[in-house]
């Protein structure tokens, strides 16, 4: 004989013997609720929608009507939200770039409510929905504490004045709207001391570099690549053309984009050991590293900025100061 099968209750799916946890448990419950909702209650048969003739259009479902609801454009809600965010954080938000602004929505105006918490003055237990303490069954009285504390008329008036002051301050200090218009030159200023002259920020000081042609003694006024050629005689700017101010300590190998001159021919390096020859070294000069004679294959060192070595006298004075600051262990 076959064993009798156990009937499962209506709307409940048989479990697979595993205990569900986390997201799987939630999805299983949602699926069960939907299946229960699709069945009829107490064995009643739900009415079936009448069949429509081919080519006919079914009637659109009616929308639910809510008491006290008003129809407003969806764009109006997004504009209000963008205005609040702009006044709070100083941003410029366009509603059409935020969400879809098509269609209407229903808005229900409700009065502002405040959640009030009460506590029993006997056992300090929070009251629930009833007026009776769940712990000591004491009925709520005037001695039971209330949060927030009920304010009197003077405190209410002070709160109204404070809110009005905040509104006036926000109107005076409007939110900063970023501007990307650089046509006008911005001048940064700040007030001087004791109402004196305003201080104007002029930026970091810059040194104007001037180059003069050593052949015709004319000032090279061009900029960029055109500044490499003299406007008067067409001479290509070389290492002999003076520079004002002179900064040979930082540029010991010559200035950028300068041709070798007759006085300063540049600095060359050995093509075998890459050791640098002295400035203006002639061909045949012996290399101090590998005893190679300077030849035409030895390349010229490209002009680059070099940090000058610190003065040994300055280093010695710093060392003496540090020694004087050290405390003796006693």
The pLDDT value recorded for residue 30 is 52
The pLDDT value recorded for residue 29 is 61
Chain mean pLDDT for the chain: 77
More confident call, 96 vs 35: 96
pLDDT band at 27 (very low <50, low <70, confident <90, very high): low
The pLDDT value recorded for residue 305 is 85
Give whichever of 119-123, 218-222, 294-298 has the largest mean pLDDT: 119-123
pLDDT band at 253 (very low <50, low <70, confident <90, very high): confident
Distance CA 264, CA 303 (A): 13
When pLDDT is averaged across residues 251-273 and rounded to a whole number, the result is 87
More confident call, 298 vs 171: 298
Please check whether residue 117 is in contact with residue 149, taking contact to mean a CB–CB distance below 8 angstroms. no
Q: In this predicted structure, which of 170-174, 248-252, 255-259, 272-276 has the lowest mean pLDDT?
A: 170-174
More confident call, 175 vs 113: 113
Distance CA 78, CA 85 (A): 11
Name the residue ranges covered by the structural domains of the chain. Answer: 70-108, 117-172
More confident call, 72 vs 66: 72
Give whichever of 61-75, 95-109, 125-139, 295-309 has the largest mean pLDDT: 125-139
Can you give the pTM of this predicted structure? 0.35
User: Closest by alpha carbon to 74, among 92, 100, 45, 40?
Assistant: 100
- Quote the strand ranges of the chain, DSSP E: 69-73, 104-108, 117-119, 145-147, 189-190, 199-200, 210-212, 219-220, 243-244
Above 80 in pLDDT, residue 95?
no
DSSP secondary structure code for residue 176 in this structure? P
The pLDDT value recorded for residue 45 is 44
């Amino acid at each position: 004989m076959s064993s009798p099968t156990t009937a499962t209750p209506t709307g409940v799916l048989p479990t697979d013997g595993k205990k569900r946890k986390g997201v799987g448990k939630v999805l299983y419950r949602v699926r069960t609720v939907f299946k229960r909702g699709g069945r009829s209650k107490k064995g009643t048969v739900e009415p079936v929608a009448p069949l429509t003739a081919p080519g006919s259009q079914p009637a659109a479902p009616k929308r639910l009507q809510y008491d006290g609801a008003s129809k407003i454009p969806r764009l109006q809600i997004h504009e209000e939200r963008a205005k609040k965010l702009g006044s709070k954080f100083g941003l410029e938000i366009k509603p059409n770039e935020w969400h879809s602004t098509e269609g209407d929505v229903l808005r229900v105006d409700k009065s502002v409510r405040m959640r009030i918490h009460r506590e029993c003055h006997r056992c300090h237990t929070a009251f629930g929905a009833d007026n009776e303490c769940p712990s000591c069954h004491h009925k709520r009285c005037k001695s039971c504490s209330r949060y927030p504390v009920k304010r009197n008329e003077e405190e209410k008036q002070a709160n109204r004045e404070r809110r009005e002051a905040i509104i006036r301050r926000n109107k005076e200090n409007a939110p900063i709207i970023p501007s990307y218009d650089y046509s006008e030159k911005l001048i940064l200023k700040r007030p001087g001391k004791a109402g004196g002259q305003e201080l104007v920020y002029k930026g970091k000081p810059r040194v104007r570099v001037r180059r003069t042609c050593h052949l015709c003694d004319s000032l090279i006024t061009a900029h960029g690549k055109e500044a490499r050629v003299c406007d008067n005689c067409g001479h290509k700017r070389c290492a002999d053309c003076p520079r004002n101010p002179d900064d040979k300590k930082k540029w010991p190998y010559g200035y950028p984009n300068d041709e070798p001159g007759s006085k300063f021919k540049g600095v060359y390096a050995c093509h075998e050991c890459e050791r640098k020859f002295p400035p203006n070294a002639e061909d045949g000069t012996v290399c101090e590293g590998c005893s190679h004679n300077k030849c035409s294959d030895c390349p010229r060192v490209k002009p680059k900025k070099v940090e000058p070595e610190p003065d040994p006298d300055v280093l010695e004075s710093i060392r003496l100061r540090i020694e004087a600051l050290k405390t003796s262990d006693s």
